[in-house]
Amino acid sequence: MESDWLQRLPAGRQNLYDTGEMICRPGMAHNRIFMLNSGSARICLSAEHRELTLGCLKPGSIYVTHTRAWVESLEPTSITSWPIEQLTLLIVEAPEIAITAMREIGKMLQQATTLIEDLAFRSVESRLARYLLLEESTQQCQTIQLTGQTELLASLLGTSRQTLSTLLNRMIRDGLVARPDRQHLILLDTQRLQQLASVS
């Protein structure tokens, strides 16, 4: 749906990135809007020795470079980008684009709000439970596929590798979830997970 209007833009610049390369970093020279064609990337904030992943970009996702966040490719990734001024011009010509774009930004704001709520009010365990339930409903299957390893998930939940590992293994011991193999998790006791997710 979004790609629909992006295709009407004049031809953009193509770029390829290797695993781990930075697609953009804060304070980059030019303000561009880009769409991810293939591969995947994570949006993250970072400080001294910590990182927090705000979200992941998949093929079709749109993002802008002028943020205070970094974007790092997680696998070989290709993007198409345009200077932001072209978007402004196009909006004048085809206003319905603006509405779509605003909806996109709104979604991001929504996501940011959720994250703020989580960080401010909820324990790591609760955040983990919420994440699991959310993933279950996003991927239709009840066996959920983890992206990357512990480290990445930890930074997605805003915690340390160790804490996440401990918590996850406790959940397994308590029979809330099972892990058939490294990359997959099965939610066994949705009831109790929901309880964990809502309380504190």
Q: Which stretch binds DNA (CB under 7 A): 21-29, 53-61, 78-86, 157-165?
A: 157-165
Tokens of 117: 């709520």
- Cβ–Cβ under 8 Å, residues 124 and 153: no
Sheet with 77-83, strands from edge to edge, namely: 13-17, 77-83, 32-38, 62-64
169 binds, among DNA, its own copies, none (CB under 5 to 8 A by kind): DNA
Tokens of 88: 């402004």
In the complex, what is the shortest distance from the CB of residue 123 to DNA, in angstroms, rounded to a whole number? Answer: 3
Q: Which of 103, 7, 108 is nearest to 57 (CA)?
A: 108
Q: Which is nearer to DNA, 84 or 172 (CB)?
A: 172
**151 touching DNA, by CB under 7 A:** yes
Q: Which of 36, 53, 55 is nearest to 45 (CA)?
A: 53
Interaction residues for DNA, span 43-72 (CB under 7 A): 49-50
* Binding test (CB under 8 A) with its own copies, winner from 19, 114, 145, 166: 114
**112 touching its own copies, by CB under 8 A:** yes
- Cβ–Cβ under 8 Å, residues 176 and 99: no
Residue numbers of the site for DNA (CB under 7 A)?
Answer: 49-50, 123-125, 149-151, 158-163, 165-166, 168-169, 182
